[in-house]
Structure 1
């Protein structure tokens, strides 16, 4: 009965989805492009017999990069098909994998996903993290396309939600060819909602190396900034009217020194202009990355209104705060700044990176703060006394190194399954 209701919802959903996309396009015009792909329209030149990976947005797409590198060693002549759900994810895929065919995955209408699978006929598919689409999984099973859930994670909150519809979701999860979890806790939660027996392989995000092109860009950034001390507030989020950028700016005006520079980078491009407006409200001198000018000595805030350059921002920072953790959105990726050997701070909401945050704290590789006042007090202390965070930067690199290898383990698991089938 739940499956019938689910399919009926997809039958009547297109007008609602289109209204949603139009609203998103008001802030991010890219949402108005490539609509046909989302609604099952055939691709004019579909790549076939490809390695197919689905990664919903930017973070998942980056996490797929080392896994694709490993899989290509086993399938050197196979093309790559990458699907996303967001414009930023699609843009990231096109940048990281210029040789791949990139497109949006159709919504989970039975006819749309059937069209997608039959026109591409991938060798196998990999869903990154927690992308569970019942009709897509069913169609792959029907068409004998092995489908794997990789880098899989499931928070307690999501587990509780899925358990309410377990009679619907469990049959789909049971049709997967393999499930590769980040942690033992993720594996246990996934098994409670019906996943095929998960194998703990770790998190591929630890395998992401600092991109070569970002090193040169970081050098350019440092030339623009000069010798100023840099506090980077990265991937800032907003929820229920509470904006992390506003919280930080409100406190920063009291904690900053003239030689300090705050780099403010919102998580989503539609928040770029809002961040600039906030800086001006606090009467702080502002420049924007998009202006591509040298940062003036009197500039208090440099707004990072650019996509795909976060690695460069990390490399020029002295201290990094990772957003999505002062508001209840579960934290953004703390692994990348630790890979760069930076002292990392984050707030109390960490359910999206629970294992990484808990592990980093135990290892002495990062610090958790209670609120924005403690955040800025710590930033002030560290900027004035770099020796206070020297041990954390050493521990950060060691922590990342100890957790690498998940991509190779997942790839081998997939190869073994394909050989056995």
Structure 2
């Protein structure tokens, strides 16, 4: 596939890129319809619409910032130690997102810095030439850092063409994603080769990027090990756990569950309670990954016949959990509390083929983790946690209609509190052992941008 070098938008795969731009223009009305549809549950989806087209910024830009793009919640939390490190060096930050929840998380984490102007928070525009062009001309960042898996072709190619160093940091790439990139042939590989550099989490990830022909790849570890837990939430969780233990009650947190997984978990939980294996029945804290599904999951819990309460309706007094089967964690930003209150975490995204979710935060809270088989998005982190004894996999085949394997794995672990305590200590060791990615990333970026 040839590259064009004589257009306004410079060197990029010509035919593929033209088709990509045409597709974006055709789908643009659907993007706004989707936002309007989501606004049924949260009107905030309709806020800042011009920013999604590269316009409508409320304040003039007076300086060149470090630009950090964190698409959603997980990436924004992962970026926290990196953002704090740059703020400590006196740098101003341009923080961009694609999702409403990512923007909410950024505002929650950095409310003071946003109010003072040290951080400017906007949406990254849709990946259309004229929108991206206006965005870059408006902000003129001096360095761009995309978190984890983000690689928007228009942005990446344009940054290369104008000489803006754009790095993919805390980068990860699963085997499945690597195969998808290779399906696009030279065009797909050219996208990742256009980054100024890729700072990968693990050797697995680095190897996959190198297989795409990327030359400048370094292994720096995972920023999520450096993310501090909110101390207030941790203390609230510990107080909750103490109250539960006073009544000899254990708690399992089913964290970041995805569509279809709640049905499996609720069936297994009902079987567990009916087994009468515990003198005091354990409590389940069920936390769906996506807030727009809170009402749907509440309906599922109700139909299944459980006694439950929403976190949003709960004052936070632990004794209010007495007599409940389930707490529905319909809140944002409180995972450290849920983890610190729990004796075991069942990690969502791993029961069905979603690739798993981040288990690092749970381990940092000293909470053992139970995993399904689908953890390909966090391959190295999962292997390390299993190897050190901080996590275990569900033993046996996980069936949708009769999830006996999940029920038996839960019963086995909850019946052996001594084993849970050993796993808890291993989880803390695992969390501390892998810290330090922030320093390595800063050192790598300083080295490469001062050449």
> Match for 1:198 among 213, 217, 224?
217
> Match for 1:286 among 284, 294, 308?
308
The aligned residue for residue 234 of structure 1 is 255
Q: Secondary structure at the match of 1:81?
A: strand
- Report the Cα offset of residue 301 of structure 1: 0.8
Correspondence list, 1:193-342, <5 A: 193-219=212-238, 221-222=240-241, 227=246, 228-238=249-259, 243-256=260-273, 257=278, 258-293=280-315, 294=317, 295-342=320-367
Structure-2 change in CA distance of 1:30 and 1:217 (3 Å):
farther
> Match for 1:155 among 174, 180, 190?
174
- Report the Cα offset of residue 222 of structure 1: 4.7
CA contact under 8 A between 1:28 and 1:269: conserved in structure 2?
A: no
- Equivalent-residue separation in structure 1 for 2:221 and 2:170 (angstroms): 7
- Equivalent-residue separation in structure 1 for 2:414 and 2:232 (angstroms): 27
User: Any gaps of 5 or more consecutive residues in structure 2?
Assistant: 1-14, 114-118
- Report the Cα offset of residue 221 of structure 1: 4.4
The aligned residue for residue 419 of structure 2 is 388
- Equivalent-residue separation in structure 1 for 2:410 and 2:356 (angstroms): 18
CA contact under 8 A between 1:49 and 1:78: conserved in structure 2?
A: no
The aligned residue for residue 138 of structure 2 is 119
TM-score scaled by structure 1?
Answer: 0.93
- Equivalent-residue separation in structure 2 for 1:314 and 1:206 (angstroms): 15
- Equivalent-residue separation in structure 2 for 1:384 and 1:7 (angstroms): 57
The aligned residue for residue 12 of structure 2 is none
Q: Secondary structure at the match of 1:13?
A: helix
Q: Which moved more, 1:149-158 or 1:5-14?
A: 5-14
The aligned residue for residue 373 of structure 1 is 404
Cα displacement string for residues 291-328 of structure 1 (whole angstroms, at most 9, x for unaligned residues):
12342421111111101111110000011111011111
- Equivalent-residue separation in structure 1 for 2:140 and 2:66 (angstroms): 10
Q: Which moved more, 1:228-237 or 1:390-399?
A: 390-399
Q: Which moved more, 1:219-228 or 1:374-383?
A: 219-228
CA contact under 8 A between 2:237 and 2:338: conserved in structure 1?
A: yes
Q: Which moved more, 1:161-170 or 1:114-123?
A: 161-170
The aligned residue for residue 138 of structure 1 is 157
> Match for 1:51 among 66, 69, 74?
66
The aligned residue for residue 23 of structure 1 is 37
> Match for 1:400 among 425, 431, 445?
431
- Report the Cα offset of residue 225 of structure 1: 5.6
- Equivalent-residue separation in structure 1 for 2:240 and 2:96 (angstroms): 32
CA contact under 8 A between 1:117 and 1:139: conserved in structure 2?
A: no
> Match for 2:445 among 386, 392, 414?
414
- Equivalent-residue separation in structure 1 for 2:25 and 2:270 (angstroms): 52
The aligned residue for residue 191 of structure 2 is 172
The aligned residue for residue 79 of structure 1 is 92
The aligned residue for residue 5 of structure 2 is none
CA contact under 8 A between 2:268 and 2:406: conserved in structure 1?
A: no
CA contact under 8 A between 2:244 and 2:250: conserved in structure 1?
A: no
- Report the Cα offset of residue 57 of structure 1: 0.8
- Equivalent-residue separation in structure 2 for 1:97 and 1:166 (angstroms): 40
Q: Which moved more, 1:378-387 or 1:94-103?
A: 378-387
- Equivalent-residue separation in structure 1 for 2:145 and 2:60 (angstroms): 18
Q: Secondary structure at the match of 1:127?
A: strand
Query: Highest CA radius of gyration, 1 or 2?
Result: 2
The aligned residue for residue 46 of structure 2 is 32
- Equivalent-residue separation in structure 2 for 1:322 and 1:253 (angstroms): 18
- Equivalent-residue separation in structure 1 for 2:269 and 2:329 (angstroms): 17
The aligned residue for residue 128 of structure 2 is 109
> Match for 2:202 among 146, 164, 183?
183
TM-score scaled by structure 2?
Answer: 0.87
User: Any gaps of 5 or more consecutive residues in structure 1?
Assistant: none
- Equivalent-residue separation in structure 2 for 1:192 and 1:23 (angstroms): 40
Q: Secondary structure at the match of 2:40?
A: helix
CA contact under 8 A between 2:196 and 2:216: conserved in structure 1?
A: no
